[in-house]
C-alpha cells in the first residue's frame, strides 16, 4: 500500500519505518526541516534501539522517503496517518492544533478516496472533528479511523513489529477492510486486531495509560507506607504480583512516572471527565500522588543532609525519563534537579543516551559528564534516577572512592539494602527496610 505518515517523532518514525519493513511504500512528512534533512542523510534524530537498521534498509530499498512537503505527498497515498504531537495546554487538556492543522492540509489536497488514520493520542470525539474539518474543504469521499499507538519508547520497534494488540476504531466496512489489509503482516501469530467504533478506540488509549499510571501511583504510595510501618515493598510486590489477576508488571515503585505520555494523558482524561461532569476522582489522586513522588528522593536527601543544601554536590545517574530512550519529557530528573538547586546544591548528571536532550532541557543547571564515575568525584551523594542496565552492577569500590561520603539515594531500587550496608554505603531506596 502507499502510505503517508505525518509527524516524524517517536511514533511517526517508528510507524513509518516498521510499515515500510513489511513492504508498504511510506512517505514520512514533518514540518521540522532540520529533522527531515537529517533523516534524508540517514541521521536519526532520536535514540530508539533497532530503529536505525530498519530505517537504513528501507531507505535503500526505496520504500521509505522523507519530505516536508505534505501537499505533494498526499495525491498518491491510499492511507494518511496522523502522528503529530498532542501536547498539554496550560489547563491540562490536549492541544489539538497540530492534528487539526494536518486535517486542514489534507482537506485541501484530497484527490480521491483515502483513509485518514489518527495515531496521535486524542480526546474522545476528535475523529469527528477531523472528519468535519476535512469535509468542509473537499467533495471527495474519505473515512477517518482511530488507530491509537501503544508502543513503548525504548522497545518501540519490537512493540510495533510484535504488537500485543492493534486497536482500530472504524465507522464502516470499507475502512475496516483497508486497516485489516494494512496490518495483515503483523497478525501472523494470532488475532491481534481489535475493531471497535472510533470513540471507543480513542477512549481505549487514554484508559490504558490512565490504568498504568494508576498502578504506578498506587505502588508508590504503598512503598511510602511500607517505609513507615516497617514492611518491604519488594516482598509485597512479589506477594501481590503472583496473583494472576494483578500480574507482576508495572508494580515497581520509584520516583514517579514521567515521559511524554502518562502525565499528559492522565491530565487530559481528567479534564475530559470533569468537562463531562463525570469526574474520575481516582485520577485526581493518581496525579497528586505522582507530583509528590517526583520529589521523594529529594525528601530523603533533605532528611539526611538537612533543608539547606548550600555547598553540597549531587551526582545523578540517569536523566531520561526511563531507560533505553533519550526522551526527557517530564523526566523525574528535571524535578529533582530543580528542587536540589532551589535548596542551594550543585547538580551533576550522566545518562547513556540523553546527554544531548539533557543539555537542551536543563542547560546550565546541570554539569554534564560523559563518564559515570567521573561525576562522582567529590560529590556528597549519588542519586539514581533511571534504571539503565549499566547502573545495575557498578564497581562499588570505585563509586566509594570517588564520592566524598558513601551515600546513595536510589530512586529505582536497583540494589539490595543489606548488601549495600555490608559494603559500607548509606543506602536509601523506595519502600524497603
Ligand atoms: P513527537 O513530539 O516526538 O513528534 C511529533 C512530530 O510531529 C514532531 O516531529 C513535529 O515536528 C511534527 N509535527 C507537528 N505538527 C506537524 C504538522 N503540521 N505536519 C507535520 N509534522 C508535524 O511526538 P510523539 O512522541 O511521536 O507523539 C505523537 C503522538 O503519539 C502524541 O499524540 C502522543 O501522545 C502519541 N503517542 C506517543 C507515544 C510515545 O511513546 N512517544 C506512544 C503512544 C502514543
For 302-336, b/e burial (b = at least 16 CB within 10 A) is beebeeebeebbbbbbbbbbbbbbbbbbbbbbbbb
Active site residue 261: yes
pLDDT given at position 423:
98
Distance CA 173, CA 103 (A): 22
Binding site membership of 9 for ligand 1 (Cβ less than 6 Å): yes
Per the residue annotation, which of 18, 28, 261, 429 is the catalytic one? Answer: 261
Residue 156 Cα: closest atom of ligand 1: 40
Are 215 and 35 a contacting pair, CB within 8 Å? no
Give the least confident one: 139-153, 187-201, 352-366: 187-201
Q: How far apart are the first and last CA of the chain?
A: 57
Please give the pLDDT value at position 190.
Answer: 74
347 lies in the same domain as 310: yes
Q: What percent of the chain has pLDDT over 90?
A: 98
Residue 336 lies inside a defined structural domain of this protein: yes
Residue 393 lies in a domain: yes
> Do both 355 and 375 map to the same domain?
yes
* Dist. CA 41 → ligand 1 center (Å): 21
Full residue range of the structural domain in which residue 272 is found: 205-291
Q: Does residue 299 share a domain with residue 214? A: no
Cα(329) to ligand 1 centroid in Å equals 12
For residue 259, give the CATH number of its domain: 1.10.1040.10
Asked whether residue 58 is assigned to any structural domain, the reply reads: yes
128-172 confidence digits (pLDDT tens): 999 999 999 999 999 999 999 999 999 999 999 999 999 999 999
| All three cell numbers of 414 | 536497583
- Pair (183, 301) in one structural domain: no
* In-domain check, residue 325: yes
pTM of model > 0.85: yes
Write the residue with the smallest CA distance to atom 14 of ligand 1: 84
Same domain, 54 and 189: yes
- Domain boundary residue, one of 291, 307, 328: 291
Which grid coordinates are listed for 104?
486542514
- Cα 8 to averaged position of ligand 1 atoms, centre (Å): 7
Mean pLDDT of 237-250: 97
Cell of residue 405, nine digits: 561520603
pLDDT of residue 407: 98
* pLDDT for residue 287 is more than 80: yes
**13 and 149 belong to one structural domain:** yes
121 lines ligand 1 (CB under 6 A): yes
Domain boundary among 291, 308, 335: 291
Measured in Å, residue 11 CA sits from the centre of ligand 1 at 6
- Provide the number of structural domains found in the chain: 3
Q: Taking a C-beta distance cutoff of 8 angstroms, is the pair 27, 65 a contact?
A: yes
Indicate if ligand 1 lies below 6 Å from the C-beta of 260.
Answer: yes
Within a domain: residue 265?
A: yes
Residue 414 exposure: Cα atoms within 13 Å on the Cβ side: 23
pLDDT score, position 433: 82
Are 210 and 236 in contact, with CB atoms under 8 Å apart?
A: no
Give me the mean pLDDT over the 272-289 stretch.
97
Q: Please check whether residue 433 lies inside any domain of the structure.
A: no
What percent of the chain stands above pLDDT 70? 100
266 and 342 share a domain? no
Domain end residue (candidates: 173, 196, 219): 196
Which atom of ligand 1 approaches the CA of 45 most closely? 9
User: Distance (Å, rounded) from C-alpha 24 to C-alpha 16?
Assistant: 9
**Separation of alpha carbons 114 and 116, rounded Å:** 6
User: What are 78-108's pLDDT values in tens digits?
Assistant: 999 999 999 999 999 999 999 999 999 999 9
For residue 187, what pLDDT band results from cuts at 50, 70 and 90? confident
- pLDDT at res. 16: 98
Asked if residue 175 and residue 55 are part of one domain, the reply reads yes
CATH number of the domain at 179, please. Answer: 3.40.50.720
85 lines ligand 1 (CB under 6 A): yes
400 part of a folded domain: yes
Residues 162 and 27 in one domain: yes
| Domain-located, residue 181 | yes
d(CA 192, CA 188): 9
The b/e string for 108-125 (b: 16+ C-beta within 10 A; e otherwise) is ebbeeebbbbbbbbbbbe
Are residues 164 and 233 both part of a single domain? no
Whether 285 and 322 share a structural domain = no
Q: Are 22 and 155 part of one and the same domain?
A: yes
Amino acid at each position: 500500500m502507499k502510505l503517508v505518515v505525518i509527524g516524524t517523532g517517536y511514533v511517526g518514525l517508528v510507524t513509518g519505518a516498521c510499515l515500510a519493513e513489511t513492504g508498504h511504500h511510506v512517505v514520512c512528512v514533518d514540518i521540522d526541516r532540520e529533522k527531515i534533512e537529517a533523516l534524508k542523510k540517514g541521521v536519526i534524530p532520536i535514540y530508539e534501539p533497532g530503529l536505525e537498521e530498519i530505517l537504513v534498509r528501507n531507505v535503500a530499498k526505496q520504500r521509505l522517503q522523507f519530505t516536508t512537503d505534505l501537499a505533494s505527498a498526499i495525491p498518491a497515498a491510499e492511507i494518511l496517518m496522523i502522528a503529530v504531537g498532542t501536547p498539554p495546554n496550560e489547563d491540562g487538556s490536549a492541544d489539538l492544533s497540530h492534528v487539526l492543522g494536518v486535517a486542514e492540509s489534507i482537506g485541501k489536497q484530497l484527490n480521491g478516496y483515502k483513509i485518514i488514520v489518527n495515531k496521535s493520542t486524542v480526546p474522545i470525539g476528535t475523529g469527528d472533528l477531523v472528519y468535519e474539518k476535512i469535509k468542509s474543504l473537499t467533495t471527495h469521499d474519505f473515512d477517518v479511523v482511530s488507530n491509537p499507538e501503544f508502543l513503548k519508547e525504548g522497545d518501540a520497534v519490537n512493540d510495533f513489529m510484535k504488537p500485543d494488540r492493534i486497536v482500530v476504531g472504524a465507522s464502516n466496512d470499507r475502512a475496516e477492510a483497508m486497516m485489516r489489509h494494512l496490518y495483515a503482516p503483523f497478525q501472523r501469530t494470532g488475532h491481534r486486531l481489535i475493531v471497535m467504533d472510533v470513540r471507543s478506540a480513542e477512549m481505549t488509549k487514554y484508559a490504558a495509560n490512565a490504568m498504568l499510571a494508576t498502578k504506578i501511583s498506587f505502588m508508590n504510595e504503598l512503598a511510602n507506607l511500607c517505609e513507615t510501618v516497617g514492611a518491604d515493598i519488594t516482598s509485597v510486590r512479589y506477594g501481590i504480583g503472583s496473583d494472576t489477576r494483578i500480574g507482576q508488571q508495572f508494580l515497581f515503585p520509584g520516583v514517579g512516572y514521567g515521559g511524554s505520555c502518562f502525565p499528559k494523558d492522565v491530565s487530559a482524561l481528567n479534564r475530559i471527565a470533569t468537562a463531562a461532569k463525570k469526574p474520575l476522582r481516582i485520577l485526581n489522586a493518581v496525579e497528586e500522588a505522582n507530583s509528590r513522588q517526583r520529589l521523594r528522593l529529594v525528601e530523603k536527601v533533605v532528611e539526611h543532609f538537612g533543608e539547606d543544601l548550600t555547598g553540597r554536590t549531587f551526582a545523578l545517574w540517569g536523566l531520561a525519563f526511563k531507560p533505553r530512550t533519550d526522551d526527557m519529557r517530564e523526566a523525574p530528573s528535571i524535578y529533582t534537579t530543580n528542587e536540589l538547586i532551589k535548596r542551594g546544591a550543585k547538580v551533576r548528571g550522566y545518562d547513556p543516551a540523553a546527554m544531548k536532550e539533557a543539555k537542551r532541557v536543563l542547560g546550565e543547571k546541570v554539569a554534564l559528564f560523559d563518564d559515570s564515575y567521573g561525576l562522582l568525584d567529590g560529590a556528597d551523594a549519588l542519586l539514581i534516577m533511571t534504571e539503565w542496565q549499566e547502573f545495575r552492577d557498578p564497581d562499588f569500590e570505585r563509586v566509594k572512592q570517588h564520592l566524598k561520603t558513601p551515600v546513595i539515594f536510589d530512586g529505582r531500587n536497583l540494589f539490595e539494602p543489606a548488601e549495600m550496608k555490608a559494603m559500607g554505603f548509606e543506602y536509601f531506596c523506595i519502600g524497603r527496610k
